[in-house]
Amino acid sequence: MTEPNRDDLLDALRALDDPDAGAPLADAVRGVAVRDGKVAVDVRLGYPARGSAARLEQRIRACLGAFDAVDAVSVDLETKIATHAVQGGLKPLDGVRNVIAVASGKGGVGKSTVAANLALALAAEGARVGVLDADIYGPSQPRMLGLSGKPGTTENRRILPLEAHGIQAMSIGVLVAVDQAMIWRGPMATQALQQMVSETLWDDLDYLIIDLPPGTGDVQLTLAQRIPVAGSVVVTTPQDVALDDVRRAVAMFRKVKVPVLGVIENMSTHVCSSCGHEEAVFGHGGGARIADETGLPLLGQLPLEASLGRSTDQGAPLVAAEPDGPVAMRFREIARRTTARLARQAASTSIRMPKITISD
């Protein structure tokens, strides 16, 4: 029997669609070896994919099994997360490979809940993850993640992040009393954010998720100018009033050269806790419309479910509280899609974007 042609196998694999990335595997296929009808495949993904690795291996085996004279296929699938290019030629943070900002154009869309669960979903997929709560005036992550106590410091006055549910976390909420009002003007708030970012001793993170305050004000602009962000995601709800603000958030990120990886639609449907009936109480298709309008992918849709809010109030977000539940699986899928799209961007050594100056 004729030996299968190695180049044909390689071409077929590189053209095979990666559902998480929404693109062909391409250069993720590092090599193919053929001998006596046995094929060995080396695949290296640039994003964590513990939840979908087995399915991807099955797709690879099915693809190659369609070739005559292929008797057996072995797949070596691994993940290597690179440091990606950031805006303005800034240098990546010490101890952090990639910063992903989670934003919304307006409040009340569940952005902080999404940020906390997205971070936990990335950790469940196999990444090392941290969360920075950038909402100086209304920090939510301490309660959502169940953070307690004050962070320690090193001899050279670096702040040691707290840990919860296997991820690292820092927030102004763990540095001040819970009932202390942050009556600061914009420059003071942005300085506090910069200090938290630069003085926190993050420990070998693949991703630092930054939970931004809603809007397009001082904190967001400071982040875009001075903190190395590899990519951002925008959270919305289906209503048109929320979509108007998403347009502004996307426009802001594009103006300051921060790539927008996609849109997450929260509260897409309501799931009745009694009967399980699912209904689009806030309208239907808003996330898809804004994604289509802006040319961005819709990374996923999340339901309005009582357990989502209840779990964060109790300090254990749903991905940690119910890791095998359907909503946790949705978050893990969104986490893979987000970082798979980030993985398709250039590494930090290959792009130097022009410096953007923002003035009043």
In a domain, 314, yes or no: yes
195 and 302 together in one domain: yes
Question: Does 28 have pLDDT greater than 80?
Answer: yes
In a domain, 19, yes or no: yes
The confidence score (pLDDT) of residue 352 equals: 37
Q: How confident is the model at residue 237 (pLDDT cuts 50, 70, 90)?
A: confident
- Candidate from 148-162, 163-177, 184-198, 298-312 with smallest mean pLDDT: 184-198
138 and 279 together in one domain: yes
Q: Which domain holds residue 263?
A: 87-343
Q: How confident is the model at residue 254 (pLDDT cuts 50, 70, 90)?
A: confident
- Which of 79, 111, 129 is the C-terminal boundary of a domain? 79
Q: What is the pLDDT of residues 338-355, one digit of tens each?
A: 999 999 887 654 333 333
- Which of 79, 108, 142 is the C-terminal boundary of a domain? 79
Question: Does 187 have pLDDT greater than 90?
Answer: no
In a domain, 148, yes or no: yes
Query: Contact, 256 vs 224, CB < 8 A?
Result: yes
Query: Contact, 162 vs 170, CB < 8 A?
Result: yes
In a domain, 356, yes or no: no
Query: How many C-beta atoms lie closer than 10 Å to residue 351's C-beta?
Result: 14
Distance CA 267, CA 246 (A): 15
195 and 223 together in one domain: yes
Between 269 and 192, residue with greater pLDDT: 192
Strand extents, DSSP E, the chain = 17-18, 23-24, 29-35, 38-45, 72-79, 96-103, 129-133, 162-164, 167-171, 205-211, 231-236, 260-265, 270-271, 278-279, 298-301
Token pair 């969360």: residue: 131
CATH number of domain containing 116? 3.40.50.300
Work out the mean pLDDT of the chain and round it to a whole number: 84
- Which of 41, 60, 79 is the C-terminal boundary of a domain? 79
190 and 302 together in one domain: yes
64 and 150 together in one domain: no
192 and 321 together in one domain: yes
